[in-house]
Structure 1
Amino acid sequence: MKLTIIDYLFIYSLVSIWMLLFVNIILALSGYVYYTKCANLKVNFIGKDNLPTVSILVPAHNEERVIGKTVKALLSLNYPKEKMELIVINDNSSDGTKDLLENIKKQYENYNFKIINTDNIIGGKGKSNALNIGFKHSKGEYIAVYDADNTPLKTALLYLINTIEKDKSLGAVIGKFRTRNKDRNVLTRFINIETLSFQWMAQAGRWQLLNLCTIPGTNFVVRRSIIEELGGWDTKAIAEDTEISFRIYKMGYKIKFMPLSVTFEQEPETLRVWFKQRTRWAKGNVYVLSKYIGGLFKVRVKNLLFDIFYFFTVYFLFLSSVVISDVIFILSLFTNIKVQVAGNFFVLWLLAYVLFVLEVSLTLTMEKGESNIRNLALVPVMYFTYCQLWMLVALKSIFLYIKDTILKKETKWYKTERF
């Protein structure tokens, strides 16, 4: 039997899909081990007198719906107020963010709380630019970053600082964010499951296996000396968290995951907002991949090599494989084109689906209250709905990145709408 181009494409898609599935299963099992360790962890916190100074940066553009709750939560952290400064960068807002912040400042006049107001000349250019502005006004030995829709638990910052202070090899420590509005509708429930499984279980697995993590953009601390040496955040990167993670690893530092540090954030409640936000994330990651993949063989940091490989697998191998397999399936229904490779491929697909359901369900057992009937019933449906939307997001983000590159168009930052 002579194989055709369709057969070779099918084999390529099958191998690529199973390769990524295998990697994710290994990460999930390793993450389970790490979470189990952390659940039994007895933390000896640093004494109050020995705690370092921390500057908390919060970029805020038109955030009047959420910024009040965020600022009050941050000012209520269990951290000595004389060693903590809160800097909110009101980045060219056109709503009531400025007035709201000023009113809160009057209520907390005994706290080190600064408000930096920017205009459309120096501000309004995205999160990276806002963070760079805030950093110039900061004084802390460590820099913490929170998004404007976050309400961290009171111990969140303490866990992060305690972890990084005890290990000089760490350049940054990240905590975990949870979905604050998970019960709003089906979309937010899907996002909650996605966050727990594809983000935090994967982070835990990467740390357990490789001492590797990627900064998530909120609820993390980084050494001030590192930001100074790096020259701040890359203003061209709309996924500034991933980009700065790569540079921190190139410096020889590690980034650790501390799951006991938890913050809650608001997630998109409509598909339109979700699609815009996720497209920005994916497009930003494609930028990071294109920025570093050219020097792949010059990179000596094995952790960075894994991340470059992982991003390439997700955005190119896996995406192309799913598209190819879907096209072949549709062609087989309406034309005479058939796959001639011997084997029961329906069984392989069914096994992949079962492994997906088991992997995500395993993740839910690690979070109190998440392994419930409603969530477990959503997981099998998630594969055919929510996960397929990610394919559209990835395709659009790659198209937009290529388009902007060809036209030499400056990438614009999209701020997630609040509810």
Structure 2
Amino acid sequence: MNIFDYIILYSLIIIWIIILINVILVIGGYFYYLDTIKFIDNQELDEYPFVSVLVPAHNEGKVIEKTARALLAFNYPKDKYEIIIINDNSSDNSAEILSNISNEFNKRNFIVINTDKRTGGKGKSTALNIGFERSKGEIIAVYDADNTPEKDALKHLVKTLIKDNSLGAVIGKFRCRNKEVNLLTKFINIETLTFQWMAQAGRWKLFNLCTIPGTNFVIRRSILEEINGWDTKAITEDTELSFRIYRMGYKIKFMPIAVTWEQEPQTLNVWFKQRSRWAKGNIYVVLKNFKYLFDKSAGATRFDILYYILIYAFFLSATIISDILFIFGAAELVTINIIGYNIILWILAYSVFVFSILVAISTEKGELTFSNFLVVLAMYFTYCKLWGIVAAIGFYNYIKDVILKREAKWYKTERF
């Protein structure tokens, strides 16, 4: 064996470790799905707590009306929740749209906070902190400005949180509402079902561990007061918040029957900007919490820290190296002696990848179709390869921000 054989071997080992971890999570998630459909809690609470629903919004004129009306239609006691939309330094017609809705419903509990460059415009975390200061609920809910949650979503989240004092937050499931637009949105739909919520279900089933997404979740007000709200330096404020909640001794539970529908990127340019932002934000969170990897008091969060390190350091390098050496080997620029074993292991990895995704999407009605099967087959060679580029860009942008000491700005996904 030469040096290139050892490098290929390293890449295969890392790739297989990540694949097996994700397979285990999907299997755990499937069993949690079976548990959930067997028991759905329809019993009402004797008294529902007051909830403040925060919606940070920046130039969301295309989608904000639909979101506002969906929030107003919640199947939750009308006198027990308020909606606070932080229209943060918007230059479009968002303020006018929200003003019309407020006048139409004439509700005291529909609050719009309009900020400008001086009072806001510094990112999602800052906008959420502004809304939190104005709120009065003992429970805080967060929804993105492109979301249309189902009517019972808030009730399911709140009931789950109230009934278990060990929970600091409860997260719901989000679905892709524009999945049929093109091949990219089909990929994102499959990714959402597999690597987003099914992996969340697996982590809860196996480790009692979840990560807050950016939308469709509730958290106790007392927690936010104790930790002084959201970290304004964090782009992925949801992941960062999750780590702090767990260090306080609370759990975060996944409740998949609390569903919201959201708009996903429809062009590669928008997708690249969104996902490289996520990668950069997650790198910040990992570095901020790296010291807790060796702290026993950090509990189950050490799994997440280790997982992110494996993804953004080892897996990223392994995928890039293996692809480059595969191309060089095919062009006979380098000699690889274990190429036969490499191909066998690659075929096995591809088969496991496809099978695990099919298991995940089988839990959603209407998703296990022949057309989606073809999408999954193509996903490994296209969408998954793009992830490596996205992660590399995110890492580069993080280093650049540190060197230039740039502050967090509003990074908003373009709407359609």
Q: TM-score, normalised by structure 1?
A: 0.97
Give 1:21's aligned residue. Answer: 19
What is the aligned counterpart of 1:375 among 372, 375, 393? 372
Could you tell me which residue of structure 2 aligns to residue 228 of structure 1?
Answer: 225
Which of 34, 37, 47 pairs up with 1:36? 34
Alignment pair present for 1:248 and 2:245: yes
Q: Distance in 1 between matches of 2:111 and 2:320?
A: 49
- Which of 143, 160, 163 is residue 160 of structure 2 equivalent to? 163
Match of 1:45 in 2: 43
CA distance in 1, matches of 2:409, 2:143: 21
Q: CA deviation at 1:8?
A: 2.0
Matched residue, 1:72? 69
Q: Distance in 1 between matches of 2:4 and 2:40?
A: 56
State which of 93, 97, 116 in structure 1 corresponds to 2:94: 97
Query: CA 1:274–1:342 in 2, change beyond 3 Å: closer, same or farther?
Result: closer
Report the equivalent of 1:301. Answer: 298
Q: What per-residue deviation string (whole Å, max 9, x for no partner) do you get for residues 172-220 of structure 1?
A: 0000010011111111111111100011110000000000000011000
Q: What does residue 386 of structure 2 align with? A: 389
Q: Return the match for 1:319 from 316, 319, 324.
A: 316
- Aligned residue for 1:148, secondary structure, equals coil
CA contact 1:91–1:118 (8 Å) conserved in 2: yes
* Counterpart-to-counterpart distance in 1, 2:362 and 2:15: 25
Give the superposition deviation at 1:372: 1.3
Instruction: Tell me if structure 2 keeps the 8 A contact 1:55–1:143.
Output: yes
Matched residue SS, 2:374 = helix
Q: Deviations over 1:368-394 (max 9, x none)?
A: 111112111110001111111111100
Q: Which runs of 5+ in 2 are unaligned?
A: none
Does the CA contact (< 8 Å) of 1:81 and 1:111 recur in 2?
no
Change beyond 3 A, Cα 1:336–1:387: closer
Aligned letter for 2:259? V
Residues 342 and 82 of structure 1: CA distance in aligned 2, closer, same or farther (over 3 Å)? closer
2:7 to 6, 9, 34: 9
Aligned residues: CA RMSD? 1.2
CA positional deviation for 1:341: 4.4
Please give the alpha-carbon distance, in whole angstroms, between the structure 2 residues aligned to 1:400 and 1:369. Answer: 39
State the SS of the aligned residue for 1:116.
strand
Q: 1:264 to 1:336 in 2, by over 3 A?
A: closer
Q: Give the aligned partner of residue 142 of structure 2.
A: 145
Distance 1:244 1:342 in 2: 44
Residues 204-260 of structure 1 deviation map (CA, whole Å, 9 limit, x = unaligned) = 000000000000110000000000001000000000000000000000000000000
Are the aligned partners of 1:45 and 1:162 in contact in 2 as well (CA < 8 Å)?
no
Identify which range, 373-382 or 218-227, moves more after superposition: 373-382
User: C-alpha deviations, 1:332-386, integer Å up to 9, x for none?
Assistant: 1223522234862211100000111111111111001111121111100011111
> Aligned with 2:7: secondary structure?
helix
User: Residue deviations 1:107-139, cap 9 Å, x none?
Assistant: 111451111111101211110000000000000
Q: Secondary structure at the match of 1:89?
A: strand
2:270 to 269, 273, 276: 273
Letter paired with 1:25: V
User: What's the CA shift for 1:297?
Assistant: 1.3
**Count of residues paired in the alignment:** 416
2:325 is aligned to 328
When residues 111 and 370 of structure 1 are mapped into structure 2, their CA distance, relative to the original with a 3 A threshold, is farther
Distance 2:112 2:413 in 1: 21
Out of 161, 177, 180, which is 2:177 matched to?
180
Structure 1 window deviating more from structure 2 (405-414 vs 206-215): it is: 405-414
AA of the residue aligned to 1:63: E
The whole-number CA distance in structure 1 between the counterparts of 2:176 and 2:71 is: 17
Contact 1:237/1:287 (<8 A) preserved: yes
Consecutive unaligned residues of structure 1, counting only runs of 5 or more, are none
Shift of 1:46: 3.0
In the alignment, is residue 123 of structure 1 matched against residue 117 of structure 2? no
